[in-house]
Homo-oligomer: A and B are copies of this chain.
């Protein structure tokens, strides 16, 4: 009960209108058996069945009701209902390291079979060809760029999309022995659907690669390519045998992380999200930006607290470090999802 009461206190002290906080408080007390409350509206037709009836769930449902009920003072017209979601650690898992890095290492290993000379040329490529992740990371940013150049550039956009599609169908996560896109979070898939059912336009705003996500994310998340924003390398228009192609260049175009997330949102969407979901300090500025709008808004952090079903990590983690954003979430009353206690299930059923 302690953590619920704390969360309710956080909600109540936050910049959230009284009815919202009040209902959350009552709800928490009801859960604790201290007051009687009518069953919540979703008991009949629950839009978020994989969520326990927690304060997090209540906050999400209450936000949607307040922004979509035409009689509510916080009603938002459908065209302004923009919701942005980080991907790694928010919509799918990100441990033991970003899945896109797994893709890159697999590619270097595969391609390296025909390029033994790479090992001479680059310590990072040599480490990647040997499957030695630590060896790759030791080479820092320069090493990573060499990996990107080999694994992500030099082909057309269409060719790259086909390579990613093949990989996502065949590669398996080392811990779960499942395809990587089976490691999406079922409760978050429900949130995506729930928001869309209520007229929200859902976007991915990921530090991951835009071209890495677009081949598989639309089917898994129900988000079309034009609503997937991410990091990119440069591309170049060329006529090859008279046929136009876009060639991927080994040069960074945009890193959609940290303070660049609101920049990317402004560039691609041109509207401020009213709901934002993240899990790490990489999402901090996006959440700040979304919280600074005029009307009611919702900030949600997925807190990885479940070392049995997934992983437990926050302030000290190398991947998905959650530190400053967690502080602000606590001081400003953002919703912090406790994965272990708020989610009935983590991954979709087989």
Contacts and interface: CB of A to CB of B under 8 A. Distances in A.
B235 A289 contact: no
Q: How many monomers of this protein are in the complex?
A: 2
Contacts of A338: none
For the residues of A in contact with B, the DSSP-based class is: mixed
B237 A270 contact: no
Contact of A210 (B228, B237, B260, B267): B267
A244 B262 contact: yes
Interface residues of A, number: 32
B271 A225 contact: yes
Given A225-B269, A267-B232, A244 B210 contact: no
A284 B243 CA distance: 13
Given A243-B292, A292-B243, A237 B263 contact: yes
A42 B79 CA distance: 31
Contact of A244 (B237, B253, B289): B289
Contact of A268 (B201, B260, B268): B268
Contacts of A266: 157, 235, 246
A201 B269 CA distance: 15
Given A237-B285, A246-B263, 20 more contacts: A79-B224, A201-B226, A225-B269, A225-B271, A226-B268, A226-B269, A226-B270, A228-B270, A232-B267, A235-B263, A235-B266, A235-B267, A236-B263, A237-B259, A237-B262, A239-B288, A246-B262, A246-B289, A253-B267, A268-B268
